[in-house]
Structure 1
Amino acid sequence: MIVASDFIPFKYSSSIEKGVFKWSAPSNIALVKYWGKKEHQIPANPSISFTLNNCKTITELSFEKKSVASDEFSFNLLFEGQPKEDFKPKIQKFFERVVVYLPFLKDYHFMIDTQNTFPHSSGIASSASGMSALAMNLMSLEKSLNSEMTDDYFYQKASFLARLGSGSACRSIKGKIVEWGNHAEISGSSDLFGVEFPNTVHSSFQNYQDTILLVDKGEKQVSSTVGHDLMHDHPFAERRFEQAHENLSKIKSILEDGNLEDFIKIVESEALTLHAMMMTSMPYFILMKPNTLEIINKIWKFRSETQIPVCFTLDAGANVHVLYPESVSEAVLQFIKDELVGYCQNRQYICDVIGNGVEQLK
């Protein structure tokens, strides 16, 4: 079994004075939700997600060796071409968490230049894509210092590092469907990093579509970090963690056999359970908006009337992810345009599809 100390390098075989790397990393949408964590970003329950394709972060990392040794981290940050001071504390905290695994961090000055392909203020969580893109760049630098590094180790450690920046970021590294967290039925699963779903996926889930309805683009009144922490004393926490294990077992079989009816039941139940945990914590809070509920009811009505296998899921916010097979995309997109966009802020929505994970850019 792999443990965290396996990612601490013994020594480096090469040196590099300066350079630049550039990676894109996607967001992801969980089917079985992760909600609640232990120390060191360890999940309280396993989760599984679709990796997205179009909603991603592109990060360029320039680095140059310091002329004078220093025990401080040195970096500048640009977001979409402009200095972004309010992002810097999160990067500082990330560096502090990972420096034991990347001991070269204090040897260089870094310029982090990052941008999203989706509007930053859209209400789509960018921490997963942002932290996974940064982790890939840092691993590219470490691979330059250790040319013997295997590809398996490279991607596994990148997922491990991304998790320390944002838990769900470990699911954005590699694979169309990624599982994170120890689970008895998922080969190679770990609390330390995400793993590509190891089994054959039914053709029904190839090119699965995700249209994201931007219901509310404002900042959440409760951060995900606070929400996770509220699970520590939650009256229903233990049963929820058991339920996540059970639902992951079920969705594993569903992804293999292509049962869309059962897929819909699990995915929608998981979305509502996530928000039920928020509404029953102390203090309690509601992140759904009235238009979120209007959209859900419209989807239920449309599915009942047409028998088209379209469903919704939610992250920790008000936006609605509409999930459906590629084979019904024409009918579902027409339904979205006719009946759902009116509930979106400024009628905005984003069409996405299952993707393959990170990509190095020139």
Structure 2
Amino acid sequence: MTEQQFIPQPYSKTVSEGRVSWESPSNIALVKYWGKKKNQIPENPSISFTLSKCKTITTVTFNKKVSAGDFDFEVFLDGEHKPDFQPKIETFFNRVVEYLPFLKNYSFKIETTNTFPHSSGIASSASGMSALALCLMSIEKQLLSEEISEAFFYTKASFLARLGSGSACRSLEGDLIVWGANTTVQDGSDLFGVKYPFPVHEHFKGYQDTILLVDKGEKQVSSTVGHNLMYGHPFAAERFKQAHANLEALKPVLESGDLDAFIALVESEALTLHAMMMTSMPYFILMKPNTLEVINKIWAFRKTTGLHVGFTLDAGANVHVLYPKHEQEAVLDFIKSELAKYCQNDQFICDEVGFGAQELTECKLI
């Protein structure tokens, strides 16, 4: 599909006011996206597990204005007015207004809450922007005279979410989502995420992700800044080629259930992501000392026990401990006894692979 296909026909219905709620999960990339072109186009393809419990719940209340004009909205996080979120939403609205022309006709109250700490490397922007995009699509659906298919609804929502936060396009569905044009998944697109279309071994069904909250604070370098530092990066071109190769290499691994090969590829991807940060100019480090302590503990435990426990990292200090469901009991015991002490206040989140967003309150007209 092209961008033009997401521009709607003139709205034929009038809606005065209403409310809609969606929850959308975060996701954790296995092959990482790092570096983007204009309009949130990725420099390389990525693939992610959709999570289940780490999610954003967003409610949008809308009222028709007397006359169209500038964007009119307020944002609330956990019930608290957040004026500092205004610029990000303003940028998002400016990017998507061509595809959602009703945005200037309404006033919006955007209420959002996360089930996990904001801005700590658990991709809150991914879950937040995907939840908001779904709410806006539900509103647009009320304004159209012709029915739109569920497939188009989710594809356009993914397209819109990408314009708010690139990885948000991978949060709407599950359980494995690919984003970015590539030769492995023929339907892969730079414009939106698509479901991984190939066979996946039973080992990866219900895969566990326990997120160790090593550092719940704000990152000192935002992901947006980090992506921009890939321009002129001395290793960028090779990294982009590596991501394509790793996506191709992951295909037989997912089909065969080769957990050792899966761990090796995913851990390498995580460390490569942070190597790009450490070799950019200016360089920066998002890992903390306890991040490295946890990684070394995981390696030692895996070698001693033979259990298939690995890790990945997002753009932050927290560690995602990945393992198959059938090894859950032993790995959780290890996490509680050996790894929790490296987390702030011994905190960690037990999550697993999920299947995407859910509409909590159907778009209701008031």
Q: TM-score range by the shorter chain?
A: over 0.9
**Conserved in 1, the CA contact under 8 Å of 2:117 and 2:216?**
no
Equivalent in 74, 77, 88 of residue 76 of structure 1: 74
| TM-score, normalisation: structure 2 | 0.97
1:120 partner SS: coil
**What is the aligned partner in structure 2 of residue 260 from structure 1?**
259
**Conserved in 2, the CA contact under 8 Å of 1:155 and 1:173?**
yes
2:173 partner SS: coil
Map residues 1-362 of structure 1 onto 2, 5 A cutoff: 2-67=1-66, 69-120=67-118, 122-146=120-144, 147-362=146-361
1:249 partner SS: helix
Structure 2 unaligned residues grouped into runs of 5+: 362-366
Moved more, 266-275 or 111-120: 111-120
CA distance in 2, matches of 1:325, 1:137: 33
**Conserved in 2, the CA contact under 8 Å of 1:183 and 1:189?**
yes
**How much does 1:316 deviate?**
0.7
AA of the residue aligned to 1:99: V
CA distance in 2, matches of 1:46, 1:106: 33
1:247 partner SS: helix
Moved more, 226-235 or 118-127: 118-127
AA of the residue aligned to 1:265: A
Q: Summarize deviations over 1:141-187 as a string: whole Å, max 9, x none.
A: 11111242111111000000000000000000112110000011213
AA of the residue aligned to 2:117: P
Give the count of matched residue pairs: 360
2:271 partner SS: helix
**How much does 1:119 deviate?**
3.0
CA distance in 2, matches of 1:159, 1:29: 16
CA distance in 2, matches of 1:4, 1:89: 24
**How much does 1:122 deviate?**
5.0
Moved more, 13-22 or 343-352: 13-22
| TM-score, normalisation: structure 1 | 0.98
AA of the residue aligned to 2:113: Q
Q: Summarize deviations over 1:321-362 as a string: whole Å, max 9, x none.
A: 000000000000000011001111111100000011110002
CA distance in 1, matches of 2:313, 2:172: 21
**How much does 1:121 deviate?**
6.2
**Conserved in 2, the CA contact under 8 Å of 1:187 and 1:198?**
no
CA distance in 2, matches of 1:340, 1:204: 24
**Conserved in 1, the CA contact under 8 Å of 2:52 and 2:353?**
yes
Q: Summarize deviations over 1:81-120 as a string: whole Å, max 9, x none.
A: 1111111111111001100000010000111111111233
1:51 partner SS: strand
Q: Summarize deviations over 1:207-234 as a string: whole Å, max 9, x none.
A: 0000000111111111111110010100
Q: Summarize deviations over 1:29-79 as a string: whole Å, max 9, x none.
A: 000000000000000000000000000000001111112x13200111111
**Conserved in 2, the CA contact under 8 Å of 1:128 and 1:170?**
yes
CA distance in 1, matches of 2:121, 2:165: 16
2:21 partner SS: strand
CA distance in 2, matches of 1:241, 1:140: 36
**Conserved in 2, the CA contact under 8 Å of 1:128 and 1:166?**
yes
Structure 1 unaligned residues grouped into runs of 5+: none
**CA RMSD for the aligned pairs?**
1.0
CA distance in 2, matches of 1:250, 1:125: 25
**Conserved in 2, the CA contact under 8 Å of 1:123 and 1:218?**
no
